[in-house]
Structures are given as C-alpha cells and as structure tokens.
Amino acid sequence: MNRIKLFFFVIFLQIFILNNIQFSGYINPYYYIIFVLTIPHKTNKVSNLILSFLIGFTIDVFSNTYGAHAFACVLISYLKIIWTNRFYNKDSEEMLEITKLSFQKFVVISTMFIATHHFTIFLLERFSFLAIWEILGATIRTTIFTLISFIIHKILSSKKHEKA
C-alpha cells in the first residue's frame, strides 16, 4: 500500500509542482525517480521493469516527451537490477536497499543513477551529439537539484523511521 501511495504522490508532485518550476530554463528536478530507486530488491525483475515503465510513461504523457522518461526509467531500473545482483550477499542485505544505505553511500549511488537517468533524458530530447556540452551541463545542474530532493527525502524518511 505504501508503494501505491508513493507512486501517486511522486507523479502528482512531479506533474503539478516540479514540472512547473524551472530554474534558469534548464533545471527541473526529477524527483519521481525516487520511486524507481526504492523498489525493493525482492520484487520480481519483470514487475520492477513494468513499474518503472509505468511511472516513466505517466510522466511522458503529462510532459509531452514521447517516451524519454519511460526509456530512462527502465534503463535505471535495469541497471539497478544488475547492481543488486552483483552485490547480492545475504550478509549485506542493507547494500541492496538504497533507503537503508549509509548517508555517504546513498549520495554516491543515487548520484550515479540520477546522472544516468538525466543524461539519457537530455540526450533523447536533443538527439544530437553536437549539443554534448549543453547536454552535460543540463545533466549536471539537474542532477544536483534532484540529488538535493533525494537527500531531503532520505532525511525525512529516516526521521519517520526513528519515530516509529
């Protein structure tokens, strides 16, 4: 039930609030990918990819981006599956859940997934390697703001778990 709430919350937040906030015309934090990155590793791989596609497709429909978000979400979901399979060890169960990582590991791993997602979106939107510096600049700026939103999410969710 919490996953369903998070699904609709991040879609609502992205579509109605974050898509309407643009800093200097290029920076638009894509908070919705927190849903993809927090899918539990025990979820079926096909379900994982389908959920990632659904959230990306929903954002595409409301953003008129013709599949860029769906592709980027499925890509990071697939990379997350590879990452969890590589580090799967029954002793280090916390390594598989991004929400259970230490703060420093959370920032590093989130940054890798966020940057991959954003680079993919901006590359698909511009579809030209001639604009590579523009794509990289937009990727870096947007990654920073998305990472800030992830850090806020991490802080708020850890305080929520401390109270429980």
28-79: pLDDT as tens digits = 889 999 999 988 888 899 999 999 999 999 999 998 888 999 999 999 999 9
Q: Taking the C-alpha atoms of 86, 88, 89 and 91 in order, what is their torsion angle to the nearest 10 degrees?
A: 130
pLDDT tens figures, 86-137: 876 655 555 567 777 888 988 999 999 999 999 999 999 888 878 899 999 9
Strand-pair partners of 27:
23
Overall number of domains in the chain: 1
Q: Does residue 72 belong to any structural domain of this protein?
A: yes
Average pLDDT over residues 141-160: 88
Q: In whole angstroms, give the CA distance from residue 160 to residue 34.
A: 17
pLDDT at 78: 96
Q: Residue 160: which pLDDT band, with cuts at 50, 70 and 90?
A: low
Q: What residue numbers bound the domain in which 50 lies?
A: 31-163
Q: Does residue 14 belong to any structural domain of this protein?
A: no
Q: Does residue 141 belong to any structural domain of this protein?
A: yes
Q: Does residue 15 belong to any structural domain of this protein?
A: no
Q: Does residue 96 belong to any structural domain of this protein?
A: yes
Phi-psi region at 66: left, alpha or beta (left = phi > 0; alpha = psi -120 to 50) = left
Q: Does residue 36 belong to any structural domain of this protein?
A: yes
Yes or no: say if 72 and 120 are a contact pair by the CB < 8 Å rule: yes
Q: Does residue 19 belong to any structural domain of this protein?
A: no
Q: Does residue 49 belong to any structural domain of this protein?
A: yes
